[in-house]
Structure formats: C-alpha cells, structure tokens
Homo-oligomer: A and B are copies of this chain.
Amino acid sequence: MTRGDLFSPECPTRRLLDRIGSKWTSMAVKVLAEADPEEVRFAELRRRMPGVSQKMLSVTLQNLVHDGLAERRVEPTVPVRVHYRLTPLGLSLDGPLAAVRTWAEEHMAEIDLARASAKR
C-alpha cells in the first residue's frame, strides 16, 4: 500500500483516531466489550463510566450506533428501557483498543517520568 493513502485527508487511521480519541468512546467500547454478549442499559453504562454526563453518554452512544459499532434496542415500556451492545464490528475494535490499553498500563509511568525530569 502507498503512503499517500494513509496520509491523505481521508486517511482511515486519522478518522478512526478522531473517533476513539474522543473522550468517552473507548471507555464505552470497553464497558460494552466486557459485558458482551450481554446488553447494557443506558443507566448501567452511566454507572460504569464515572464522570460521564448524560448528554455525552448519549452522544457517544449515538456515534457508536451511527458507525455500526453498537446496536440500540428499545423496550417499549413506560418509562422506556434502552439497551446497548456491540456489533461484531465493534467487538473487533476492542482488540486494537486493548493493545493500546496494555501499552498505556505498562509504559505511562515511563512517560510520566520523562515529563517530570523535563524542564516545565
């Protein structure tokens, strides 16, 4: 493959990083992947993602659904109950994300060390 493809404005890696770099996306994917194959309700997701606002969780999940990474199922009760789970595509994304998480856990301390020893 050519380098031009990867670095063009439509570079798939860049676009993917825009997604998973958004504040809550990777956390949502991880929570949903851990629950898989069980569904997770909106309120339960919120509980498992400390600090997320209702709005941002809503936006994050909409993005995942819109990208085909997650599915949304509404129970037509009153009040409604909404369940989410990853699609196979979304589940497959957890692999690369896990690699990033593992690296972070193993090496972020070294980065912190480098930062601390640098002039601020």
Interface of chain A, helix or strand or loop or mixed? helix
Chain B hits for A49, CB < 8 A: 7
Please state the number of chain copies in the assembly.
2
Does A75 lie at the interface of the complex (its beta carbon under 8 Å from any beta carbon of B)?
A: no
Chain B hits for A100, CB < 8 A: 13, 16-17, 20, 96-97, 99-100
Does A6 lie at the interface of the complex (its beta carbon under 8 Å from any beta carbon of B)?
A: yes
Q: Among B17, B30, B104, which residue has its beta carbon within 8 angstroms of that of A12?
A: B104
**6 residue pairs bridging A and B, Cβ less than 8 Å apart:** A14-B26, A15-B108, A20-B100, A21-B21, A68-B114, A95-B103
Residues of A with Cβ closer than 8 Å to B? 1, 3, 6-9, 12-18, 20-23, 26-27, 30, 48-51, 66-69, 89, 92-93, 95-97, 99-105, 107-108, 110-111, 113-115, 118
